Amino acid sequence: MVNEITVKTILNKSKTRDDWFLGKYTLNPYAGCSMACIYCYTRGSKYGGDYGVEVSPKSNAVLVLKNQLRNSIRRNERGIIILGSAADPYPAVEKDLNLTREILGIIKRFKFPIHILTKSELILRDMDILNGIKEVSILPDELSDKLDNGIIISFSFSTLDKKLAKIIEPGAPSPMARLETMKKFNDAGFKTGIINMPALPFLSDSEEEIEVMIKSAKRYGADYILYGGLTLYGNAPEDCRTVYFNFLKEHRPDLVEGYVNLFKGSTSLSKRYQKDVAIRFSELSDRYDIKNSLI
């Protein structure tokens, strides 16, 4: 049985446009995420709530969204909607519920631009509506000369290693399935790219592994690749810090001490580490002529 919830708002407005993802709004049709990624920042942070991997559709999302979009247009506050900022908009139950598909239809009707973040192949089902959004969406003035149209589709990766991905992203399609899905959208004329967030210390952050990720991005049609470091929150049993360290203790105990030294009790990696990896990403991206930004 699906545990539906009701919400007062579905469209969350940011004070300023997000520099990374270009969004003015965020929208999550579901609470909780069936991808079950052990590193997910929503586990134990202020962003995730208490849903975890239990997926709950927001049953009144369509009605609430209609009202909020009308108000946004009335206030002349058109901007890019980030779909899937806290939970993948294509969990397993979406195949039957079609909630995200309904929401995309409303976004198309009101001609808002959108940036979708996902790991799912199910997004292919909605290519017809997404083509419609591409044709009719109205970009905000400050982006009208920087983007060809109002739809961006980003696919999330932490590794291209199939065996590792199965452990740390147990509910997600394989990395290869994601690459192939991205290629289909790129071939259909969509702006697509890879969100390599997070690159995992000692697991997917070496120069060789970053180079493979960037080469794969280029081969499968990505227009950009964005990098981000791992963050680990909380100490409760289901929080990502606890879950991630349990994974290390079981599968890679040799790395535990290295992680302790990198985090030093913080939720974020050391600044020196982040700078070093960012430099590797930048240099390799330049070598393969792929952007590290959306615009």
pLDDT, one tens digit per residue, over 212-242 is: 999 999 999 999 999 999 999 999 998 999 9
131 domain residue, yes or no = yes
pLDDT, position 53: 75
1 domain residue, yes or no = no
- Give the C-alpha separation, 132 to 159, whole Å: 32
164 domain residue, yes or no = yes
pLDDT, position 46: 64
CATH number at residue 234: 3.20.20.70
pLDDT, position 93: 96
2 — pLDDT class (breaks 50, 70, 90): confident
Q: Can you point out the beta strands (E) in 143-233?
A: 151-157, 191-199, 224-229
What is the model's pTM? 0.95
Per residue in 23-51, pLDDT tens?
999 999 999 999 999 999 888 766 655 45
pLDDT, position 270: 93
- Give the C-alpha separation, 234 to 246, whole Å: 13
Mean pLDDT of 272-284: 95
**3-state helix/strand/coil string of 56-104:** EEECCHHHHHHHHHHHHHHCCCCCEEEECCCCCCCCCCHHHHCHHHHHH
294 domain residue, yes or no = no
Mean pLDDT of 76-87: 95
Write out the residue range of the structural domain in which residue 73 sits. Answer: 11-287
pLDDT, position 223: 97
Mean pLDDT of 179-192: 98
5 domain residue, yes or no = no
293 domain residue, yes or no = no
Cis amide prior to 175 (ω within 30 degrees):
no
Residue 1 has pLDDT above 90, yes or no: no
User: Domain total for the chain?
Assistant: 1
Tokens of 29: 């049709």
Q: 3-state DSSP call for residue 195?
A: strand
Q: What is the DSSP letter of 138?
A: -
116 domain residue, yes or no = yes
